[in-house]
Structure 1
């Protein structure tokens, strides 16, 4: 089940379909939006920045309309930002086995 704060166009709280971990899902951006799936566990800006990788982004979480809203981190984002931060989800569930298409 997914939930989104009433009146918010921000993130919805849900669970990863593969591993079941709580995550935040949101389309971030106005034109070419990025479909973000981030771990729901909040952390400091410094802790999130330490986990950042080229294909794993960190996000500033603001409260909008009573619910979470993920924000891009621009070049001027403070490392001592007082808002909670999250990091892109890296699923730890085993990969699905390849489909057997040989037939009976």
Structure 2
């Protein structure tokens, strides 16, 4: 189910990028780097479907906010977003809080 969720998101991203007129390059596939897609696939076994969807949505918002802060403070001059890095940082926070607070993200007890 998680793979289907990710696949639908990637298809919608592809449609958006296609309508916007962007081309697929070696480094970027549909506006997202290959490493980002690999990271999102690799973490699938860590979460139940509902928790994966929440992690994906909140993680993307976290990445956006963190990237805006980094750009405003001029800590990084790149125009690309290191999404896998931001999401891995968010994953560390999520798993740490899960251990401290006793949440089981795999079995769906969080939601």
TM-score band, normalised by the shorter chain?
under 0.3
Q: Which has the higher helix share?
A: 2
The structure in which a higher percent of residues are strand is 1
> TM-score of the superposition, structure 2-length normalised?
0.26
